[in-house]
Structure 1
């Protein structure tokens, strides 16, 4: 009679106390914003929780009746990515009263679009925010990182 050997895996690595907190990431998004010494001012980003990403997705989703398909989910991906970028950006805070008043809008996404009025800058913001939130990590990249750690 063979004994059933069950391998027990250590789950302590996955407990909240063992998980590293997401770090802030600084990145230049535009060469137009400079400090008093003429240095480019970096934006500061921090990943947002998965639960918040889910909430933003719901806020950016509508349902449409499509002939032959019934009720279909429609995600406004541009708005979804923009909302992620706004919430991921710690500095400048697009939600701040000062910036909303300066750019004459209550919508932080519109603040970001007006502040980053050159299309490439706004695109840089979206790209960096998605990267900070892990959307550009491939399984191959993660496997390589695991080998090298």
Structure 2
């Protein structure tokens, strides 16, 4: 066996240490301040950021199921379809810690029980709403591509 091959096997053994992946070694997702609108300011005139945090995979799967609709043709089931627009909006609502779009106060203020409608009315300028959705999907890893992950791993 060549020296180079021996070194490669040693590295492979180190790389296969499963202790790195044990539950108590996983870092908790951090909260992030995200600026989605310039229109909401504090008493000093500073723009107020939204606070967002990634949600667990299990919750994303639940949201996907809740946003899945059965499709019928001539009374017969032909399949299922995920309402992508509502699905990503639900992810954004769940990801948003502050402001709490599910709060009774905001729902009453915007005269709707639906937190997605609260978000649409709160972020009434189209770019704000789409920025909010984009940030939520980014925070939950939907925009990560392999090259980005590989580059981060190298650093």
TM-score normalised by structure 2 residue count: 0.87
Give the whole-Å Cα distance in 2 for the aligned partners of 1:65 and 1:82.
25
CA contact (8 A) 1:105 1:111 kept: yes
What is the Cα-based RMSD across aligned positions, in Å?
1.8
Name the structure 1 match of 2:60. 53
Give the whole-Å Cα distance in 2 for the aligned partners of 1:38 and 1:62.
44
Compared with structure 1, are the counterparts of its residues 70 and 98 closer, same or farther at alpha carbon in structure 2 (3 Å cutoff)? closer
Give the whole-Å Cα distance in 2 for the aligned partners of 1:144 and 1:34.
36
- Structure holding more helix per residue: 2
Partner secondary structure for residue 45 of structure 1: strand
Give the whole-Å Cα distance in 2 for the aligned partners of 1:129 and 1:55.
17
Residue 35 (str. 1) matches residue 42 (str. 2): yes
Give the whole-Å Cα distance in 1 for the aligned partners of 2:59 and 2:73.
29
Unaligned runs of 5+ in 2: 1-8
Give the whole-Å Cα distance in 2 for the aligned partners of 1:38 and 1:70.
55
Partner secondary structure for residue 23 of structure 2: coil
Name the structure 1 match of 2:143. 136
Give the whole-Å Cα distance in 2 for the aligned partners of 1:58 and 1:44.
26
Question: What's the CA shift for 1:74?
Answer: 1.0
Name the structure 2 match of 1:24. 31
Deviation string 1:99-123 (CA, Å, 9 cap, x unpaired) is: 0111111111110011011111100
Partner secondary structure for residue 63 of structure 1: strand
Alignment of 1:83-98 (within 5 A): 83-98=90-105
TM-score normalised by structure 1 residue count: 0.91
